[in-house]
Amino acid sequence: MISKKEMKAFVKFPFKLYKNNNYWVPPIINDELESFNKDKNPVFKHATARFFVAVKNNEIVGRVAAIINDTEINEQQLKKMRFGWFDFIDDFEVSKLLLEKVKEIGLANKLEFMEGPVGFSNLDKVGVLTDGFEHIGTMITWYNHPYYKNHFEHLGFTVEKEYLENKFPFKNVDPVPLKRISTILKKRYQLRSLNFTKTKNIMPYVDKMFELFNITYAELPSFVPISQIEIAYFKKKYISFINPEYIKFVVDKDDNMVAFAITMPSFSRALQKAKGKLLPFGLFHLLKAKKESKDVIFYLIGVHPKYQGKGIHALIFLEYQISFEKRGIVNCIRTPELATNTKIAAVWKNFEPVNHKKRCTYRKDI
């Protein structure tokens, strides 16, 4: 049984490992603790996790979360041992010790391979950063030292999935073709865009959005469906904190959801100033960023398979163009996307994105 003090030490280890690092973005400590709390995070209804730290000279020098997702194993028949929240000093003895614990649990549960770093689901952080260390992280990605890659290779792991992170200046979003395409598509398919100024008006659509998320992302190799109880949890915890105008939906004449997108202001600098705490000043920095940040993160975007390849995303980007122009947005930053996902690459190509980071997950047979 892990005590609250021990779990807090697990969460706080990276604060020491990345002290004075200009690119690491710390989490809010209490949020991180809640995500690991079996009584609060509904993911534990169908997943288990064990948390380990490596200790040397009475100090923590590494950590890892060993995760088993029952949905993935029992329903998808993927015998995968997950691991995440993997941080360590540049010492092969430390990284080896931690991954051996992950392997032990995988063997005990008759799993076939381990892969990481990954979280509990597709809504969690993913991947080891392998390129772009000189760019600041985001609140929804892990940052790591360059030596992490060397440790995986030294320990016999191979790259399983590669992810790309891209960005582009907002000025690259030309509203003229978006208006033309949107007018045609709205008429042809009887569609309409939904914009919001109040969070309470978004809530009735959130369940539909996550249902579409499950449909849209199902073909990706790393996908694990989001359960109804998880949807309720994410709705309560996260949707209310996102600027209402940063969430866009497209629906058909019967109000069925056709497409969705969630963006958020960049909280990176605000989180660095907060130093893991909301009080006394952390919340002030976050609220200031929510209102004033000129960088925006594209978190999730999806189009119903029935409408993919028809340019539906133009409707969403037009609405964002209008909203972001009012706010004076300068940069658009995308979250990690699978390098093999050619469909999503086609969505962004007209904005001339630049790849500024690469990351990957590593795999090893058990």
Cα–Cα distance, 139 to 60 (Å, whole number) = 24
The ranges of the chain with pLDDT < 70 are 222
Of 123, 134, 118, 122, nearest to 86 (Cα)?
118
Tokens read off for 199:
């969070």
pLDDT for the residue 226: 85
The answer as to whether 174 is a domain residue is: yes
Only one residue has tokens 């699978």, namely 338
Phi, psi of 131 (to 5 degrees): -155, 140
- 114 and 173 co-located in one domain: no
pLDDT for the residue 241: 84
The answer as to whether 300 is a domain residue is: yes
Q: Give me the domain span that covers residue 301.
A: 168-358
pLDDT for the residue 224: 82
pLDDT for the residue 185: 96
Tokens read off for 313:
């995303």
Q: Within a 13 Å sphere around the CA of 27, how many CA atoms are in the beta-carbon half? A: 20
The answer as to whether 365 is a domain residue is: no
pLDDT in tens, 21-76: 999 999 999 999 999 999 999 999 999 999 999 999 999 999 999 999 999 999 88
pLDDT in tens, 148-189: 999 999 999 999 999 999 999 999 999 999 999 999 999 999
- 57 and 71 co-located in one domain: yes
- Nearest-10 Cα torsion for 152, 155, 157, 158: 70
Last residue of a domain, one of 112, 143, 164: 164
All residues at 6 or more sequence positions from 289 whose CB lies less than 8 Å from its CB, including other chains: 265, 266, 267, 269, 270
- 192 and 311 co-located in one domain: yes
The answer to whether 257 and 250 are in contact (CB under 8 A) is: yes
Cα–Cα distance, 161 to 220 (Å, whole number) = 11
- 9 and 130 co-located in one domain: yes
pLDDT for the residue 344: 87
